[in-house]
Amino acid sequence: MIGKRIITQEDINIFLNDGLNSPFKIPSKFSAPISLIWEVTGNCNSNCIYCSGSFPKHINEMKKTDKIKLAKEICDMKVFMISLSGGEPLISHDLLELVNIFIENDVSIMICTSGYRINYSIVDALLRLKKVSFNISIDSINDEINDFQRGRVGALKGALNLIEYIRNNELTDTFISIESVATRKNYSGMTDLVEYFSKNCNVNEIRIQPVVTMNKDVVENELEISKEEFKNCMINVKKFIEEYNSVVSEPSEGYICVRFVDQFKMIKNGLETERTWGGIITPQGEFLLSVYLPSNLGSVFELGTFRETWNKKFSDGWKILKKDSNLSNINCVYDLRKLYVDVL
């Protein structure tokens, strides 16, 4: 059968464990973030039921001059990787200028987009730069289900069009990953999504994560997924991968990686080690340690520059957050709802 061979997190772990025999010591505190997510705009064309931040946000977005200042500082601090999200970054006119600064300084870029009603002249310019990866949100290959969750008729079509457009117009191989949020409505169809992209051979990775309940609409629309349901989703997808790989043993089209993401893993690691690897910069220029936690550590320029604010405050972010008693009874990704719906 023609198709991409599917690899999983377990395959990556085996590869990494074999290659990393040296006793590498990780410092307890970093002088700069390793990676960042920057929500460059509060504007968004989508209307996802599970959206964390009430986008589109009518907020005091950072001025372009401040965004450029911040981008240059991030480069000077030698941050390895930055994901540019929103809202919808592909409608932000500031995006290209920021991306150019990062590319000139060899900072890896990933654009996180819905693909819905985006500005294709921005996509064209990004493809000419050759070094940009894309993370595109698709929850289901069934348009009715996908569009319901994403809050817009035509959302799936928009995302698939973007993938096709990138593949038809890229000047070099562009890394594309699919970000998929599993809910009670779509989890049983997750194998269809994996099968679709494995056979179509047009994306490199699929990341599947359970929905985190951060507003009451998720509850009212019965999207919440239980631990058992998500486990079933993983079992079904893994079973499908086994069967699928048995007939694509000689991958003519390369590989596609399917990963299940536990959003709590990073929070647990931060609380246990107090080591801050990075964080999220909001459209108004504030710093969060996780999109799934309500805690806001304040402006990136609070102590003058981002570097200073990082050194004196954000690099100790998990130490600060650990004092928040609300986090003491959060032990897994499914507990995160307690921080939102239980207080509404």
- Residues at the site binding ligand SF4, with contacts judged by CB under 6 A: 44, 46-48, 51, 55, 86-87, 114
* Closer residue to ligand SF4, CB minimum distance, 87 or 210: 87
The nearest distance, CB 220 to ligand SF4, in angstroms, is 17
Residues contacting residue 208 through CB under 8 Å, at least 6 positions apart: 180, 182, 190, 233, 234, 237, 258, 259, 260, 261
Residue 260: strand pairing partners: 208
Cβ(50)–Cβ(183) below 8 Å: yes
Task: Provide the pairing of β-strand 287-288 with 278-281.
Answer: antiparallel
CB of 52 to ligand SF4, least distance (A): 7
Type of residue found at 330: I
Distance of closest approach, residue 306 Cβ to ligand SF4, in angstroms = 23
DSSP 157-196: HHHHHHHHHHHHH-SSPPPEEEEEEE-TTTGGGHHHHHHH
Contact yes or no for 84/90 (Cβ under 8 A): no
Residue 210 and residue 230 in contact, taking contact as beta carbons nearer than 8 Å: yes
**221 or 311: whose CB is closer to ligand SF4?**
221
Judged by CB, which is closer to ligand SF4: 73, or 139? 139
State which residue, 48 or 256, has the beta carbon closest to ligand SF4: 48
Beta carbon of residue 165, minimum distance to ligand SF4 (angstroms, whole number): 18
Report H helices in the chain. Answer: 9-19, 64-76, 95-104, 120-129, 143-150, 155-169, 190-200, 216-220, 227-247, 263-273, 306-312, 317-322
Q: Which CB, 55 or 287, lies closer to ligand SF4?
A: 55
Secondary structure class of 120 (helix, strand, coil) = helix
| Least Cβ distance, residue 86 to ligand SF4 (angstroms) | 6
3-state helix, strand, coil in the chain (%, to 5): 45, 15, 40
By beta-carbon proximity to ligand SF4, the closer residue of 160 and 327 is: 160
Please report how close the Cβ of residue 164 comes to ligand SF4 at its closest, in angstroms: 20
CB of 84 to ligand SF4, least distance (A): 13
Whether the CB-CB separation of 275 and 240 falls below 8 Å is answered with: no
Q: How far is CA 161 from the centre of its chain?
A: 20
Of 46 and 92, CB closest to ligand SF4: 46
156 versus 241: smaller Cβ distance to ligand SF4: 156
Please, what is the minimum distance in Å from the beta carbon of residue 166 to ligand SF4? 18
